């Protein structure tokens, strides 16, 4: 093992440090495996309930009328997420697109969007119009308000109550931390917020950005009253096989409106060819629980390794996990770059590439990203990224297998050790 890791660029010193960290994580890893086993059974049961068969994998083109595979897949997603219906389409390009569809479909001119989890993810700022952008909700007369989380990362119910008014139509909740060093929200905590919001104004539509959170727990936000649960297929639920796509699971009315927004009024879910991607979408969902488990193990390993070396990590090495993202505050652009170089060097694809910060579309800061992925931008695969700004935190996620996630963390430690020796 020393020899193989040495060929990959990991020194014996770094490898031994990693092994010492892993000795304390057996119980955590066993718990993750238990969650994966439960979720695997849930997915299989959903596929059996919908009578998934080989014909579901047949390709469709053009309008995509009578696409039995597409219809069945959406029933499977609705079953897994405990909702009335689902919209699962390769035509949804990313998580931001899925969220934009969900918001635009359910907000009309004069309505107000309320974020109850503070500042939204960077790319949504232009969707909303917090940062002016062509085609934003603000251009169509939708106003925006937010209630920040408390310092401990919990919901501020007083602030939420004060923000709700007669124009409040959609309440948005971002489960994961995004580019912030705040706790991720559990499904149970989200459920409390949904219940509170509806106790004040029952007709408010509660939408959860579920990116990075699927299958981390044995439940999903939609099981706690969320009207829409939204995410990307190149994150958790795609299992690393989905080459594109997004999903919106929720009430019949919300999903119908989303379908009309994605395609056209009057067409809705009846059109949309699958382009021969059905097998990957089904098989990716089937693999998702175990892939998410691998990513969670990598996140916990990273948290414990970097915490032992004196870095601030969010969540810390002992906290419960509600998404696959691990934030590590490195304190400088130099160390952020070194971390990302290590992740890139561990990749099966583009391992020879050096990540450099750049002005990515949709962000207000330069962003550095490391991802040698089989699917471009797939953050269920081993990846790391972060905006070049205080507190210089890098966000690590993914790993289709636990050994790959482990290698990535060891390589990140190695690259940092080479420019600033670590006390290991």
Instruction: Let me know whether 201 and 320 are in one domain.
Output: no
Distance CA 113, CA 145 (A): 6
Question: In which region does residue 355 sit, left (phi positive, over 0), alpha (psi from -120 to 50) or beta (all else)?
Answer: beta
Domains: count for the chain? 2
With beta carbons less than 8 A apart as the criterion, state whether 280 and 259 touch. Answer: no
On whether residue 48 sits in a domain, the answer given is no
Same domain, 235 and 272: yes
CB atoms within 10 A of CB 2: 11
Cis peptide before 315 (omega within 30 of 0): yes
Confidence of residue 122 (pLDDT cuts 50, 70, 90): confident
Alpha carbon 360 to chain centroid distance?
18
Query: How many Cβ atoms from other residues are within 10 Å of residue 359's Cβ?
Result: 9
204, 62: one domain: yes
How far apart CA 100 and CA 94 sit, in angstroms, is 10
- What does the CA dihedral 359, 210, 169, 203 come to, rounded to 10 degrees? 180
Q: What is the pLDDT of residue 110?
A: 98
Q: Which of 251-267 are b and which e, b meaning 16 or more Cβ less than 10 Å from the residue's Cβ?
A: beebbbbbbbbbbeeee
Q: What is the mean pLDDT of residues 194-207?
A: 98
Q: Is residue 86 part of a domain?
A: yes
Euclidean distance between CA atoms 216 and 223, whole angstroms: 14
Domain that holds residue 290: 2-40+286-419
In angstroms, how far is the first alpha carbon of the chain from the final one? 20
- Backbone dihedral angles phi then psi of residue 146, each to the nearest 5 degrees: -140, 150
Confidence of residue 233 (pLDDT cuts 50, 70, 90): very high
Residue 18 structure tokens: 């990693």
10 with 112, same domain: the answer is no
> Looking at the structure, do residues 321 and 411 belong to the same domain, yes or no?
yes
Strands laid side by side in the 205-209 sheet: 85-89, 246-250, 228-232, 205-209, 168-174, 112-115, 143-146
| Main-chain dihedrals φ then ψ at residue 89, nearest 5 degrees | -140, 140
**Per-residue confidence band for 205, with pLDDT thresholds at 50, 70 and 90:** very high
- Judge if pTM exceeds 0.85: yes
* Average pLDDT over the chain, rounded to an integer: 96
Q: What is the pLDDT of residues 257-293, one digit of tens each?
A: 999 999 999 999 999 999 999 999 999 999 999 999 9
Which residues neighbour 171 within 8 Å (Cβ) at sequence distance 6 or greater? 114, 115, 116, 164, 194, 197, 204, 205, 206, 207
d(Cα 116, Cα 112) in Å, to the nearest integer?
13
Query: Is the residue at 52 inside a domain?
Result: no
Give the closest residue to 145 by CA, choosing from 128, 157, 133.
Answer: 128
Give per-residue pLDDT as tens, 334-386: 999 999 999 999 999 999 999 999 887 777 789 999 999 999 999 999 999 99
153-187 confidence digits (pLDDT tens): 999 999 999 999 999 999 999 999 888 889 999 99
Q: What is the pLDDT of residue 180?
A: 84
Residues 30 and 69 in one domain: no
Distance between CA 376 and CA 244 in Å, rounded? 9
Q: Are residues 103 and 20 in the same domain?
A: no
CA distance 42 to 109: 40
Q: Is 173 helix (H, G, I), strand (E, B) or coil?
A: strand
Residue 158 belongs to a domain with what CATH number?
3.40.640.10
Residue 216 sits in the same domain as residue 83: yes
Q: What is the DSSP string of 174-204?
A: E-S-SSS-SPPPPHHHHHHHHHHHHHH-TTP
Domain boundary among 255, 276, 297: 276
Angstrom distance (rounded) from CA 74 to CA 22? 39
Identify any residues that bridge with 168 across adjacent strands, giving them in sequence order. 112
The proportion of the chain whose per-residue pLDDT surpasses 70, expressed as a percent, equals 100
Q: Is the same domain home to 125 and 221?
A: yes
- Rounded to the nearest angstrom, the gap between the alpha carbon of residue 195 and the centroid of all alpha carbons in its chain is 23
**137 & 222 share domain:** yes
Residues 265 and 403 in one domain: no
Tell me whether residue 49 is in a domain: no
Reported as half-sphere exposure (CB side, CA atoms, 13 A), residue 277 has a value of 22
Based on the fold, state whether residues 208 and 301 are members of the same structural domain: no
Mean pLDDT of the 204-228 span? 98
CATH of the domain at 330: 3.90.1150.60
Cα Rg of the chain (Å, integer): 21
Q: What is the mean pLDDT of residues 27-44?
A: 98
Q: Model confidence over 286-298: pLDDT tens digits?
A: 999 999 999 999 9
Alpha-carbon distance 272 to 263, whole Å? 8
Is 403 within the bounds of a domain?
yes
Domain boundary among 249, 276, 303: 276
**Domain-ending residue, one of 208, 243, 276:** 276
Rounded mean pLDDT, 302-322: 97
């Amino acid at each position: 093992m020393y020899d193989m890791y040495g060929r990959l660029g990991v020194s014996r010193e770094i490898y031994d440090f990693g092994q010492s960290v892993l000795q304390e994580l057996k119980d955590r890893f066993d718990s993750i495996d238990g969650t994966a086993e439960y979720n695997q059974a849930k997915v299989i049961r959903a596929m059996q309930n919908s009578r998934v068969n080989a014909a579901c994998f047949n390709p469709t083109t053009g309008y995509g009328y009578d696409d039995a595979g597409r219809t069945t897949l959406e029933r499977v997603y609705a079953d897994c997420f405990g909702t009335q219906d689902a919209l699962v389409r390769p035509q949804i390009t990313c998580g931001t697109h899925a969220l934009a569809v969900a918001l635009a479909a359910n907000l009309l001119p004069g309505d107000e969007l309320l974020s109850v989890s503070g500042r939204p993810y960077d790319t949504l700022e232009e969707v909303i119009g917090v940062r002016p952008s062509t085609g934003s909700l603000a251009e169509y007369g939708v106003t925006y308000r937010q209630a920040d989380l408390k310092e401990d990362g919990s919901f501020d119910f007083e602030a939420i109550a004060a923000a709700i008014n007669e124009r409040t139509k959609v309440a948005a909740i971002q489960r994961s931390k995004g580019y912030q060093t705040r706790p991720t929200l559990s499904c149970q905590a989200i459920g409390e917020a949904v219940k509170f919001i509806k106790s004040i104004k029952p007709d408010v539509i509660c939408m959860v950005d579920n990116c990075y959170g699927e299958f981390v727990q044995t439940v999903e936000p939609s099981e706690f009253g969320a009207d829409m649960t939204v995410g990307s297929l190149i994150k958790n639920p795609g299992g690393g096989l989905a080459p594109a796509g997004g999903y919106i699971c929720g009430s019949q009315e919300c999903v119908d409106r989303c379908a009309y927004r994605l395609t056209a009024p009057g067409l809705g879910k009846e059109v949309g060819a699958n382009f021969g991607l059905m097998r990957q979408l089904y098989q990716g969902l089937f693999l998702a629980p175990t892939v998410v488990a691998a990513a969670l193990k990598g996140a916990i390993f990273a948290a414990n390794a970097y915490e032992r070396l004196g870095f601030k990590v969010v969540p810390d090495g002992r906290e419960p996990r509600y998404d696959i993202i691990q934030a590590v505050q490195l304190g400088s652009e130099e160390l952020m770059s070194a971390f990302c170089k290590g992740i890139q060097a561990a990749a099966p694809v583009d391992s020879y590439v050096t990540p450099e910060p750049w002005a990515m579309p949709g962000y207000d800061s330069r962003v550095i990203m490391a991802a040698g992925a089989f699917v471009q931008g797939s953050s269920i695969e081993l990846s790391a990224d972060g905006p070049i700004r205080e507190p210089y935190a890098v966000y690590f996620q993914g790993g289709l297998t636990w050994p790959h996630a482990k290698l990535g963390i060891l390589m990140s430690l190695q690259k940092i050790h080479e420019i600033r020796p670590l006390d290991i």
